[in-house]
Amino acid sequence: MRASALVCFVAVSACIACIAHGGNFYQDTEMTWGQGRGKVVDGGRGLDLSLDRASGSGFQSKDEYLFGKIEMQMKLVPGNSAGTVTTLYLSSQGDAHDEIDLEFLGNVSGEPYTLHTNVFTRGRGQREQQFRLWFDPTADFHTYSVVWNPRHVIFAVDGTPVRDFANREARGVAFPRTQPMRVYASLWNADDWATQGGRVKADWARAPFVASFRGFSADACVWSGGRSQCPVGTMEEAGGGGGWWNQQLSDASYRRMRWVQRKFMIYNYCTDAKRFPQGRGVPAECRLRR
Ligand SMILES: *[C@@H]1O[C@H](CO)[C@@H](O)[C@H](O)[C@H]1NC(C)=O
């Protein structure tokens, strides 16, 4: 009796954990394009996307979310990945959509990938920031995450914050706060622009190109029936506790982010002198200190 009661308890709590945190690509995602070029592997624990001359491939989360912490482990196309782009992004529907982007622009063998990030609010993007990575993203899986709460969108790589898009609605900057978003990932051919400005094309002799995903987790408020349902306790950790709902950068993590930006950021729209000569027209979110 006692043994079976214990087994039952363990099964139930494991299942709760699995609803809250995902981790099974069969359960949590669906292929959206690529006609068999995307494959769930390893009993649901992994997913591989592939790209050949005819098509790339992609998948999306089954659920839509309004706020959450989204994590994915990714291992990018190795070797000569020129012309390929691997993406992980959140997006809502429609013209005035919100979007939070991570795009990994491939390169020829031995040359570095570019991590391209952007934030769209009400259909308007043009907030590009690009980074080098401080490791080879093709040698192993690394964790890419987005914390999206009512006050911040924080991009992190292996837990190190690289970008913080803070809510500046008080200064007239739109913030993604009302439209539920789905998680999307894809691998596609962008050799007209991706690598060294489009000068280097994909080498189709090396196709199919493959990018691998695992460890998808959405600790998130699921949108259903016109409202957002958050995991129990999400909003209760007041005072900047450990939960993602209240997450913002501590002084230490802010300093760490600034250090990464100084060392690894290769493009920042805020400081683009061609776009904003003498700083004219710099968007409000760029002018504000933390
Ligand atoms: C590819 O490598 C070249 C040379 O190191 C570099 O200039 C470029 O930014 C890299 N990334 C892309 C996406 O072109």
Active-site residue 103, yes or no? yes
- CB-based pocket (< 6 A), ligand 1: 105, 107, 111-112, 114, 194-196
117: left (phi over 0), alpha (psi -120 to 50) or beta: beta
Q: Which atom of ligand 1 is nearest to the CA of 194?
A: 13
Which is the catalytic residue, given 64, 71, 103, 285? 103
Are the C-beta atoms of residues 166 and 158 closer than 8 Å to each other?
no
pLDDT class for 244, splitting at 50, 70, 90? very high
The mean-pLDDT minimum among 10-19, 27-36, 217-226 falls in 10-19
**How high is the mean pLDDT of the chain?**
90
3-state class of 279 per DSSP? helix
Q: Domain 3-287, CATH 2.60.120.200 — does that match?
A: yes
Q: How far apart are CA 8 and CA 1, in angstroms?
A: 11
pLDDT in tens, 60-81: 999 999 999 999 999 999 999 9
Centre of ligand 1 from the C-alpha of residue 152, in Å: 30
pLDDT in tens, 122-177: 999 999 999 999 999 999 999 999 999 999 999 999 999 999 999 999 999 999 99
Centre of ligand 1 from the C-alpha of residue 132, in Å: 9
